[in-house]
Amino acid sequence: MSQVLYNTLSGKKEKFIPLKEGEVKLYLCGPTVYDLLHIGNFRGPIVFNVIRNWLEFTGNKVNMVYNYTDVDDKIIQKANTEGVETKVISERYIKEFEKDFNALGLKKHTHNPRVSEHMDDIISMIEKIIINGKGYVVDGEVFFAIDEFKAYGALSKKKLDELEIGQRVEVDTRKKNPQDFVLWKPAKEGEPYWDSPWGKGRPGWHIECSAMVKSILGDSIDIHGGGVDLQFPHHENEIAQSEACNCAKYCNYWVHNEFINFGAEKMSKSLGNIITARNFMEKYNPEILKYLFLSAHYRTQMGITDDKLSQTISALNRIYSAIELAQITVDQVDAPAIADAGFDKKLVEFDNKIKKSLNDDFNTAEMISFIFEGVRTFNAIGFANKAKRTPSHKGQSESFLAWMAKYGDMSALFNSNPKDMLNRLDEILIEMKEIDKSEVEKLVKMRNDARDAKDWGMADEIRDKLQDIGVELFDGHARGWRVKVND
pLDDT tens across 162-195, in order? Answer: 665 544 456 788 999 999 999 999 999 889 999 9
Pairing of strands 23-28, 221-227: parallel
234 pLDDT more than 50:
yes
For residues 24 and 7, give the distance between their C-alpha atoms in angstroms, rounded to a whole number: 16
Q: Pick 115 or 267 by higher pLDDT.
A: 115
The overall average pLDDT reported for the chain is 91
439 & 421 share domain: no
238 & 211 share domain: yes
Least confident of 44-53, 152-161, 255-264, 358-367: 255-264
420 & 443 share domain: no
Which pLDDT belongs to residue 388?
78
Domain total of the chain: 3
Which pLDDT belongs to residue 483?
80
State the pLDDT confidence band at 432, using cuts at 50, 70 and 90.
confident
pTM to 2 decimal places: 0.92
341 & 450 share domain: no
Which pLDDT belongs to residue 267?
42
* Structure confidence by residue, pLDDT tens digits, 319-371: 999 999 999 999 999 999 999 999 999 999 999 999 999 999 999 999 999 99
For residues 180 and 147, give the distance between their C-alpha atoms in angstroms, rounded to a whole number: 8
- Is 274 part of any domain? no
Domain that holds residue 348: 283-425
- Is 331 part of any domain? yes
Pairing of strands 251-257, 221-227: parallel
Which pLDDT belongs to residue 282?
95
Do residues 248 and 220 lie in contact, with contact meaning Cβ atoms separated by under 8 Å?
yes
Q: Which of 425, 451, 470 is the last residue of a domain?
A: 425
Which pLDDT belongs to residue 265?
43
- Is 391 part of any domain? yes
**Residues 6 or more apart from 61 whose CB is under 8 A from it?**
22, 23, 24
Do residues 354 and 407 lie in contact, with contact meaning Cβ atoms separated by under 8 Å?
yes
pLDDT over 70 percentage in the chain: 92
State the pLDDT confidence band at 387, using cuts at 50, 70 and 90.
low
- Is 119 part of any domain? yes
State the pLDDT confidence band at 477, using cuts at 50, 70 and 90.
low
482 pLDDT more than 80:
no
Which pLDDT belongs to residue 407?
97
